Amino acid sequence: MENFSWPLFVASLALCAGGLLNLYSISSAMDFSGDWSWFTRQSLYLLPALAVMGAVLLLDYQYFKKLAWPLYILSFMSLVAVFFAGTKVKGATRWLDLGLFRFQPGETIKVALVVVLAAWLTKRNPAAGLDFKDLLAPALLMAAPIFLIHKQPDLGTALHLAVTCLPMFLVFRFRSRVKWTAAFLAFVLAGFMAFMQFSGSWHMLLEKGLVKPHQANRVLVYLNPEEHRAAGGWQVSQSENAVGSGQITGRGFMEGLQHRNGFLPEAETDFAFAALAEEWGFLGSAVILAVFALLLTHGLAVAQFSKDLFGSLIALGLTSLLFWQVVINVGMVTGLFPVVGIPLPFISYGGTSLVMTFLAVGLILNIGMRRYLFKEQPLRDNPELWNRPEDITAPSRASIRPLGPDTPFNPEVHPRHRLPHVRPWAKYLRKSKALRHWQVPEPF
């Protein structure tokens, strides 16, 4: 537990508590006709979410190297099953009805894709540079679920999945021809978007089926919400009104007029941050964003200080997953981005999203906890860890637990000895006066 990231853990619980408080206010203004409210359901979803996070913490993250492909295949098959047995809600088929609850495979594939890409990229040499042949398999792993999610249709989640994985590739070097090709494609895409913007030829994309009518309307609403109020600009305007009416300190808890009077659509899911901003104002919104910043920075710290590439890539990918969710949702609510169906982690209502978010946080915590477990020569490589005050007995050979020959790990990555946790509080006492007379035992 020496390397357990308590700020990351506490920030997650604090955001979840804020989300439940926000849902309680939103649910209190609704008549559920004897059914469970959003607040009650989210509270029940919290129990399996915490259980999943606890289970992930107990399992060494190195096992996910072998679990990566089964998890990815299972999540991918769930996406395929949506087209045959999915439940259609508000014009989109994104859920599988499992009886007791509805399950959204688009949320699970995000974590599964990060893990399988980390397992694949770990086999590559970061210093050698990635070539086209190294990028072919990752491109297929990403393109298949993105295509299925886009066909649901759910363009927002598809784009979110694409940008989530981008930082994982930026860890590596690229060959020159890959860089020039990427620059050329970016230039062509920018030119195409500029042409479509100035010529107004969006109907061509509609005719080809590349863009759905409601997706094109969202772009038009984003460019000029007042002129396209009937196509969805009203929703954006009401969201901005709710955020602005909160002013500095907000209207007060359970006093949000926009969502309580039914003027703010989707207040429990996509526009939960607008309802929160109306009741708690700029100060409350700033506190929530500051807690998100704390969570994300500690997630990046785990990625930075991880001692193996696999753990570092997973932590980076999952932190990117949470980062883009926050940026896209808050930007959508405040009118900076077009409206897409991206929930705000911990705040928006949704059981699958809550469970997978806690799973992602648990996996990041797992990687941070176990960053110092494996050493080739623990005494010789880390003499300062074994320094003891004179009144403490030096560690014995028996305190170093050898891994058995049947260990399912790569021996090149995981040496024969596991470093024991003999003094978790050592790093907090290194500058103490009581440690000035430590003695270094002889290496063996």
Q: 141-170 pLDDT, tens per residue?
A: 999 999 888 887 777 788 888 889 888 888
At 289 the pLDDT is: 96
Least confident of 88-102, 314-328, 354-368, 372-386: 372-386
* pLDDT at 348 exceeding the cut of 60: yes
CA angle 48, 53, 58 (to 5 degrees): 125
- In terms of Cα–Cα distance, which of 32, 68, 8, 1 is closest to 346? 8
**Quick one: what percent of the chain has pLDDT higher than 90?**
28
Sign of CA dihedral 20, 44, 101, 78: positive
Least confident of 218-227, 291-300, 334-343: 218-227
- In terms of Cα–Cα distance, which of 73, 106, 113 is closest to 92? 106
Neighbouring C-alpha atoms within 13 Å toward the C-beta of 413: 15
Long-range contact pairs involving 204-213 (C-beta distance under 8 Å, separation at least 24): 211/155, 212/153, 212/155
Is the overall model pTM greater than 0.85, yes or no? Answer: no
Token digits for 13?
Answer: 């619980």
* pLDDT at 192 exceeding the cut of 50: yes
CA–CA separation, 171 and 38 (whole Å)? 40
Segment holding 208, helix H or strand E = helix 202-208
In Å, what is the CA distance from 20 to each residue of 16, 26, 279, 348?
6, 10, 14, 9
Percent helix, strand, coil in the chain, to 5, is 65, 5, 30
DSSP assignment of 335-368: TSS-----PPTTTS--HHHHHHHHHHHHHHHHHH
Give the distance, in angstroms, between the CA of residue 237 and the centroid of all CA atoms in the same chain. Answer: 28
Q: 199-234 pLDDT, tens per residue?
A: 666 566 656 566 666 666 666 666 666 655 555 566
Exposed, middle or buried by CB within 10 Å (0-12, 13-18, 19+), for 406? exposed
Exposed, middle or buried by CB within 10 Å (0-12, 13-18, 19+), for 193? exposed
* pLDDT at 71 exceeding the cut of 60: yes
Token digits for 138?
Answer: 């990752």
CA–CA separation, 414 and 434 (whole Å)? 34
CA angle 76, 80, 84 (to 5 degrees): 155
